[in-house]
Amino acid sequence: MANPYNPPSRDWREIRLGTVDGLRPRPFLKPPPLRACVRVGPRECVRAVNSKRPVNLDLTTIKFPLPALTSITHRITGVILFVGLVFALWALDASLSSPEGFEAVRDALATNFLAKLVAWGLLSALGFHFVAGIKHLLMDMDIGVELESANRKAQVTVVISAVLVVLAGVWVW
């Protein structure tokens, strides 16, 4: 009997309708179920995956490599920038609404500790996100995807971002 999951090559219309080799018509041909096994004979297979392995779901005990940490931090800074956009747009709207609004925003950024902290945090997130984004663009172009160069790029990303964070702190404070 012919294998219904792997029919011989025929006209594509027959295959699509499921009428290959006199099999009953079906709306589609299903692929065989995926099995995690290694074939040892025509009808035998041995489990290739130990399903009784312990699973570690505690992320605090996993030691992530530096490229993974920079990638995760890149996503986190993207969320911070998205949320911080509310503060930035409010400050822009207030400063452009009138000369008094501009003075109020300028005074808040000059004297209020919380406003300075938020501005410094947004600038720091922007700096890291920009540098890590360039790293990701280089990896998308298959530049430095090997393990050693990926580690080196992650180190360079952290160093440049640290410099930008310090410069943002000097500028804000």
User: What does the pLDDT profile of the chain (173 residues) look like in tens digits?
Assistant: 555 555 555 555 554 454 555 555 555 555 555 556 666 666 666 666 666 777 777 878 888 999 999 999 999 999 999 999 999 999 999 999 999 999 999 999 999 999 999 999 999 999 999 999 999 999 999 998 899 999 999 999 999 999 999 999 999 98
Determine contact, residues 115/90, Cβ cutoff 8 Å: no
Paired residues of 37 in beta bridges: 47
Q: Where are the domains of the chain?
A: 12-47, 66-172
pTM of the predicted structure, to 2 decimals: 0.66
How confident is the model at residue 104, as a pLDDT?
A: 95
How confident is the model at residue 30, as a pLDDT?
A: 56
How confident is the model at residue 56, as a pLDDT?
A: 76
Determine contact, residues 172/119, Cβ cutoff 8 Å: yes
Q: What is the pLDDT of residues 14-56, one digit of tens each?
A: 544 545 555 555 555 555 555 566 666 666 666 666 667 777 7
How confident is the model at residue 106, as a pLDDT?
A: 96
Paired tokens of 19? 């009428």
Q: For the domain bounded by 66-172, which CATH number is listed? A: 1.20.1300.10
Burial of 136 (0-12, 13-18, 19+ CB in 10 A): middle
